[in-house]
Amino acid sequence: MKRIAAVVWVLLLALTACGSGAAEGGQHLRVAWRSNPSSLDPQRGNSGSDHAILYTMYDTLVSFDPKTLEPAPGLAESWNQDDPTALVLHLRPDVRFHDGTPVDAQAVKYNIERAKGPKSNIKSDVAGVTGVDVLDARTVRLNLARPDSSLLLTLADRAGMLVSPTAAEREGDAFERNPVGAGPWKFVEWRYGQLVRVERFPGYWQRGLPHLDSIDFTIMKDGSTAVNALRSGQQDMVFNPPPQDVGLLSAAKGTKVAAGPQLYQLIIYLDLSAPVFRDRRVREALNLALDREQILKVTQFGQGEPGWTPLPSDHWAFPKSAVPTYPHDPDRARRLLAEAGHADGLRFPLLTYPDPVNVRLAEVLKYQLGKVGVQIDLIPTELTQASSEFFNERKYPALLSAWTGRPDPGLTYKLMFTERGYYNAGHVATPGIDEALNAANGTADLAQRSEKLGAVARIVADQSLFVPLIFPNAVAAYREHVQGFEPNLLGKPKFTTVRIQR
């Protein structure tokens, strides 16, 4: 019977490919992508730049509105929360993973339990889930330790990217090289450091989508190389090209540019357990030493805004009153360093990326910090390696990188600043932050949440838990035959509505 069922499934896929859901012929998109994925297993990767590739292969339990980031139906067509400590998800009928196995309540239970497992990098995302009950084939209940309004949009991120239990069990640690999800496209190949290719999944549940037959993500770490490939017609899309090239691309014949705000923020991550950063005064001094307006002007040609909190000013959870900021105050920075025992100066290594844009930013930081007696030794390192050396191996005390944003702001604060948060490299607890975050996540009212999340932002600023720098604009440049692209505030593109129109 199993063999017959498998044959029937293959026939259904073939019929679907010939039906109204089929994509137009020759719908192949070439995307110049800035970094190699850290993993194609959504639960074991550690880089925010993975998401655009992951979204092609994995649908999430919950989706989001691209402009507001409000929750929207995904693999779960609806949900209810009559009990504040339980979230009940109602799954869509007849959805299949790429291997033909069902996307059902048992699969959701498997994924949540796997996300909480020892090899997961997203344990803190679902730490508040105490258990999963399968109510029927299409209904699952997540039991919570306490009310948590951030969980819904947490399921629009890695925690909601469902993997096939059958494939995950079969492949084990090799699953990241043989991923199986339920997204619009299925995995074809990953040439490490060169290319990730996906092909349209004919059994995708959204009829008529996707339009593209296939997508090639060509790994191009150098932004100028990617821009040249776009202009010559070798690539169809480029994201976040070097700022100095944006004007050129806007004026170029046959090329379009879309730019707007995003959650992506350039920052310096600090390992608070490292001796050099244990004293809050040192961390505050770093923040006061920096002129963010100058950083924005020099590195982004003024396109974007200074960063004070992990959220940009147009986000609903950005503090509307008493915004915590760091004025450019080199004199106070020097006094704080002296009080902390560094009157003769301070020196530490800083991991950074070797591409020209990040090198320019690092040099500006080195200059500004040097004016208050702080010397930084730049350690240029490829993105995936740098992330591992900082967050996993903890070889260095600081990393110049980015926070790529999460659909729910509560998840951002949890991952970056709570003791168990993956991006809190030293896993140092900050007094009061858990209580403030729990209070914010204890209400679903946006006005109340915004006010309470503002209190979390002030704790982060008072303790100088990181060094926020700037929010550059999100920029997508593409050839004019690329149609239907919809940018989102998250700054992590999805391609489901994109088509090629020649």
Q: What's the pLDDT tens digit per position in 415-440? A: 999 999 999 999 999 999 999 999 99
CA distances from 490 to 200, 386, 449, 450 (A): 24, 23, 19, 18
List Cβ neighbours of 344 (8 Å cut-off, separation of 6 or more). 373
Average pLDDT over residues 212-225: 96
- C-alpha angle 245-246-249 in degrees, rounded to nearest 5: 85
b/e per residue 436-472 (b: at least 16 CB within 10 A): bbbbbbbeeeeeebbbbbbbbbbbbbebbbbbbbbbb
Average pLDDT over residues 129-139: 98
21-35, 195-209, 376-390, 427-441: range with lowest mean pLDDT: 21-35
Q: What pLDDT was estimated at residue 282?
A: 98
Q: At what angle do helices 409-417 and 446-462 cross, to 10 degrees?
A: 20
Q: What pLDDT was estimated at residue 323?
A: 86
Mean pLDDT of the chain: 93
Average pLDDT over residues 248-261: 92
Whether residue 44 is predicted with pLDDT greater than 70 in this model: the reply is: yes
Q: What does DSSP say about strands 139-144 and 129-136: parallel, antiparallel, or unpaired?
A: antiparallel
Of 31 and 46, the structure prediction assigns the larger pLDDT to 31
Q: What pLDDT was estimated at residue 139?
A: 98
Q: What pLDDT was estimated at residue 356?
A: 87
Q: Which of 401, 416, 426, 432 is CA-nearest to residue 311?
A: 416
- Distance between CA 165 and CA 4 in Å, rounded? 21
- Distance between CA 237 and CA 482 in Å, rounded? 8
Residue-wise pLDDT for 48-64, tens only, equals 889 999 999 999 999 99
Question: Are residues 285 and 329 in contact, defined by beta-carbon separation less than 8 angstroms?
Answer: no
- Distance between CA 467 and CA 455 in Å, rounded? 18
Q: Which of 178, 175, 192, 269 is CA-nearest to residue 38?
A: 192
- Distance between CA 405 and CA 106 in Å, rounded? 30
Which amino acid does the sequence have at 486? E
- Distance between CA 121 and CA 265 in Å, rounded? 21
Residue-wise pLDDT for 370-428, tens only, equals 999 999 999 999 988 999 999 999 999 999 999 999 999 999 999 999 999 999 999 99
Residue for token digits 């909190």? 309
Of 281 and 10, the structure prediction assigns the larger pLDDT to 281
Of 191 and 248, the structure prediction assigns the larger pLDDT to 191
Q: What pLDDT was estimated at residue 288?
A: 98
Q: What pLDDT was estimated at residue 502?
A: 81
- Distance between CA 230 and CA 237 in Å, rounded? 7
192-196, 209-213, 221-225: range with lowest mean pLDDT: 221-225
Residue-wise pLDDT for 446-478, tens only, equals 899 999 999 999 999 999 999 999 999 999 999
The enclosing H or E element of 306 equals strand 304-306
Question: Is-above-0.75 flag for pTM?
Answer: yes
Q: What pLDDT was estimated at residue 8?
A: 38
- Distance between CA 346 and CA 338 in Å, rounded? 10
Find out whether the peptide bond into 147 is cis, omega within 30 degrees of 0. Answer: no
- Distance between CA 226 and CA 244 in Å, rounded? 13
Q: What pLDDT was estimated at residue 14?
A: 39
Q: What pLDDT was estimated at residue 483?
A: 96
Question: Are residues 350 and 399 in contact, defined by beta-carbon separation less than 8 angstroms?
Answer: yes
Which amino acid does the sequence have at 338? A
What's the count of helices (H) and strands (E) in the chain, helices before strands?
15, 21
Q: What pLDDT was estimated at residue 242?
A: 92
Whether residue 1 is predicted with pLDDT greater than 80 in this model: the reply is: no
The enclosing H or E element of 433 equals helix 433-441
Question: Are residues 312 and 266 in contact, defined by beta-carbon separation less than 8 angstroms?
Answer: no
How many Cβ atoms are within 10 Å of 52's Cβ, its own excluded? Answer: 20
Which residue intervals of 141-181 are DSSP H helices?
151-154, 165-171
Can you list the positions of beta strands (E) in 137-177? 139-144
- Distance between CA 208 and CA 206 in Å, rounded? 6
41: tokens are 């297993």
Q: What pLDDT was estimated at residue 2?
A: 37
Whether residue 6 is predicted with pLDDT greater than 80 in this model: the reply is: no
List Cβ neighbours of 221 (8 Å cut-off, separation of 6 or more). 34, 35, 354, 355, 382, 383
What percent of the chain clears pLDDT 90, i.e. is strictly above it? Answer: 88
Average pLDDT over residues 76-104: 97
361: tokens are 């930013």
Which amino acid does the sequence have at 358? N
Question: Which sign, positive or negative, has the C-alpha torsion 239, 266, 123, 46?
Answer: positive
Which amino acid does the sequence have at 118? P
